[in-house]
Amino acid sequence: MSTKISTHPTEVCSHRPDPAARVRVSITFPSDEITLCAVAGEVDQFTADELRRHLIGALDKAAPRVVVDLSMVSFLGIAGLRVLFEARSRIERAGGRLLLVTGPPCVDRLLQVAADDIAFETTKVLTGALLDAA
């Protein structure tokens, strides 16, 4: 019995699940002052564009305070961090504020490592973030 091993990139990548199946992003507007972006699943180099599409896409109509809930994220990679940094830059240029809800060790660890270069305002509790942002 012989097994074919392919080294062609498109064949290797064809077995990856659809990014939308690996990360879920929801944008809601709990008040006139707050935009909430809830993220669940894996945010890596293959799914970061899904996060970017939703989060950056919502910034045109975003309230002055944007809360990104990462409490249901199972993996956060550098590509996801770049999206958050891009969002924060755009929000701050418009005079707004970005607040991240953290909790999972994968999120906390990456934000801690990146803190010297890219410090984010964070909290561990969504209800506190929504009250604080109001």
Structure pTM? 0.82
Residue 134, pLDDT score: 55
Counting residues of the chain whose pLDDT is more than 70, the rounded percentage is 84
pLDDT > 50? residue 26: yes
Token digits of residue 27: 């944008």
Confidence category of residue 24, pLDDT binned at 50, 70, 90: very high
Dihedral sign computed on CA atoms, order 30, 36, 41, 46: positive
What is the Cα–Cα distance from 134 to 33, expressed in whole angstroms? 6
Confidence category of residue 17, pLDDT binned at 50, 70, 90: low
* Residue 36 belongs to some domain of the structure: yes
Q: What Å distances lie between residue 61 and 14, 39, 48, 68, CA to CA?
A: 35, 19, 21, 15
* Residue 12 belongs to some domain of the structure: no
What is the Cα–Cα distance from 84 to 51, expressed in whole angstroms? 9
User: Which CATH number characterizes residue 32's domain?
Assistant: 3.30.750.24
pLDDT average, residue stretch 108-126: 86
pLDDT average, residue stretch 110-132: 82
pLDDT average, residue stretch 47-72: 93
Domain that holds residue 89: 18-133
* Residue 10 belongs to some domain of the structure: no
The mean predicted confidence, pLDDT, of the chain is 85
* Residue 7 belongs to some domain of the structure: no
Dihedral sign computed on CA atoms, order 30, 31, 32, 36: negative
Count: domains in the chain: 1
Torsion (CA) 31, 32, 34, 39 in degrees, nearest 10: 70
Backbone angles phi and psi of 128, in degrees to 5: -65, -40
